[in-house]
Chain A
């Protein structure tokens, strides 16, 4: 009984996960007739695949070229993640090992302050950020977008890593300090190598949220630093046909799908085994 339930769950859930992806992939190869005359699902049987949609988004047909936005997205995401992870993991370690206090605000309040930065809807922050970046002459620059994204990514890193560091026994860093390391060396030499799974997960969320951000990029950048989601949504706003839209969708999500493999590898290696000895 529970076996039947198990395998039907696995089957149905996998089918559900694959549905929109396979629809987008198949549609990206459709000729106009296969889209406009009702839904078709099976290439070669129901229609003859074409590359028109893909030519439209790679600059071959001169319609749009998504490669520059791809490079922008990659650069901005990389630096925003680097900054968030560096400062975020130090802050998280501090919050996990020391007790801070200012009046009656204690560690949990500081952690909540970090995560509360994600609550504000971007629509409200967009205007003040716009004015801030304009004053600093950072509008439509990568640096400006990196700074704004960092304010949203670091909270996630801190929130996730405090939990991970809490699970690592304090004896590990105490041992390192007994052997003559200062607290910072103890952190870098013993804790960081043991927290690879945590850092991977935190870094991955940072990359995902950075890469997928639509709103700030939409408001704070124009032509120089158009990111991939902005470029795709812009296509969606014009009279772009379905097959081209679906090709652009697949194009913009492909780079991150590789991350799923990286994350799985780290998970399966079993992060914490052998940390305590």
Chain B
């Protein structure tokens, strides 16, 4: 019973289980991306890099990537700022905070695909709640689903509603586990709340913030459920993200090989982006003392 045995005992079961589940799908995807395969064929043919070449010239794929970049940046930023603000208020300072903690966690517990259906009923132009509410104030109905900008707004609202509580929870858990000593000495020194926040709370929260932002970006980049049920990538393809585009090409039109190719390219780009971003965020947070 060496310590090497225990070292392996902890990591290997989980790691091997994960590899066992994921290895076949991953290898299969790589192989399929070099074939021209649809489900009706029994064997795999060989198409070399044809799918890859096609992808590099597919303007729809690249524009969906840029749309995603822009989109996940906006939603994640909004979620982080709102989530942090909510976490600060729910951390301490007002009496009924425990009630609000529960309330603000609720959207996280709801199913995105189901909520997208509810949001769609809210943004229905004729009989939906949003236009009905605006009408009370004499505002003309907005064409939520047929104009590009309002369609983007509906998705942003749905995503911010759904996932800000994720940031809120992670950041609140972080705040609650912070050591109290530094805040006591700041109190004694008579620091203003604003100053305490920037020089103590925010730097202490940096590692947790980075973790939360990275997870959120990963999840945001897969956004599918809300687009599928809310706008179906419309109007036109104005709200189409890579996940939805892959789905259309791969599973609806059964160009499985092409879908696999785009999936791999997307995976490579996402890992690169996240690695670089992780490094940058880690470096930015270092000089503040962590």
Contact = CB atoms under 8 A, between A and B. Distances in A.
Given A9-B89, A123-B251, A264-B105, A38 B126 contact: yes
Given A35-B127, A91-B10, A116-B271, A121 B121 contact: no
A125 B29 contact: yes
B15 interface: yes
Contacts of A122: 222, 224, 243
Nearest to B110: A253
Interface residues of B, number: 95
A187 B126 CA distance: 59
Contact of B21 (A116, A150, A233): A150
Contact of B127 (A10, A36, A151, A260): A36
A78 B274 CA distance: 31
Interface string A220-250: 0000000011001100100000100110110
A130 B128 CA distance: 38
A139 B45 CA distance: 25
Interface string A46-64: 0000000000000000000
A143 interface: no
A271 B11 contact: no
Interface string B178-200: 00000000000000010000000
A168 B123 CA distance: 47
B60 to A, nearest CB: 15
A117 B94 CA distance: 40
B109 A259 contact: yes
B221 interface: yes
21 contacts: A17-B103, A20-B122, A21-B110, A23-B121, A24-B118, A87-B17, A90-B9, A94-B7, A98-B7, A100-B7, A124-B264, A154-B17, A183-B10, A214-B112, A214-B113, A215-B225, A219-B251, A229-B111, A245-B121, A253-B115, A268-B98
Given A127-B251, A245-B121, 18 more contacts: A35-B127, A38-B126, A39-B128, A90-B11, A95-B11, A114-B15, A124-B260, A156-B215, A159-B215, A201-B170, A215-B225, A232-B114, A249-B117, A249-B118, A252-B111, A253-B110, A260-B102, A260-B106
Interface of A: 2, 6, 9-10, 13-14, 16-21, 23-24, 27, 35-41, 83, 87-88, 90-91, 93-95, 97-98, 100, 110, 112, 114-129, 131-132, 147-148, 150-151, 154-156, 158-160, 163, 167, 182-184, 187, 197, 201, 208, 211-212, 214-215, 219, 228-229, 232-233, 236, 242, 245-246, 248-249, 252-253, 256-257, 259-261, 263-264, 267-268, 270-272
Interface of B: 1, 3, 6-7, 9-11, 13-15, 17-18, 21-22, 24-26, 28-29, 32, 39, 82, 85-86, 89, 93-94, 98, 100-115, 117-119, 121-122, 126-129, 131-133, 135, 161, 169-170, 172-173, 176-177, 193, 207-208, 211, 214-215, 218-219, 221-222, 224-225, 229, 242-243, 246-247, 250-251, 256, 259-260, 262-264, 266-267, 270-271, 274-275
